[in-house]
């Protein structure tokens, strides 16, 4: 795997965990997107009952795939990091932390 791809995954993981980038929902379930000036990055979960499968794709302005990677063709560490990027992107896009905060607040008022 290209070392720049590894760096990209590392940076996406770090920036997502630290709430520095805003992932958004897409029309398709289990796919989330973050856009930059010239490119977009999509992270998707295609897991089934038998195994986990996460895919990351880079798109240019025209919507064409520039590069891609999936968790089934990279190292265990990179695959795990892809999974973590996906989980954090999903939580960010779905507003999970806000929902938990509101629920806790409501429970405290009871």
Q: Which residues of 54-82 are buried (b: 16+ CB within 10 A; e: fewer)?
A: bbbbbbeeeeeeeeebebeebeeebbebb
Closest CA to 43 of 97, 93, 1: 93
User: Domains of the chain: which residue ranges?
Assistant: 3-108
> What was the pLDDT predicted at 11?
93
The whole-angstrom distance between residue 55's C-alpha and the CA centroid of its chain comes to: 9
pLDDT in 10s for each residue of the chain, 110 residues: 678 888 999 999 999 989 899 999 999 999 999 999 999 999 999 999 998 999 999 999 999 999 999 998 888 888 899 999 999 999 999 887 787 878 888 888 88
How confident is the model over 97-106, as pLDDT tens digits? 787 878 888 8
Torsion angles phi and psi, residue 96, rounded to 5: -60, -45
């Amino acid at each position: 795997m290209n070392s720049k791809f590894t760096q990209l995954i590392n940076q996406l993981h770090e920036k997502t965990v630290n709430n520095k980038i805003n992932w958004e929902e897409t029309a398709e379930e289990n796919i989330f997107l973050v856009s930059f000036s010239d490119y977009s990055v999509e992270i998707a979960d295609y897991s089934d009952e038998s195994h986990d499968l996460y895919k990351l794709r880079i798109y240019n302005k025209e919507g064409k795939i520039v590069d891609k990677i999936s968790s089934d063709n990279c190292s265990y560490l990179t695959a795990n990091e892809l999974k973590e990027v996906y989980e954090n992107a999903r939580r960010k896009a779905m507003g999970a932390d806000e929902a938990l905060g509101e629920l806790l607040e409501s429970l405290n008022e009871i």
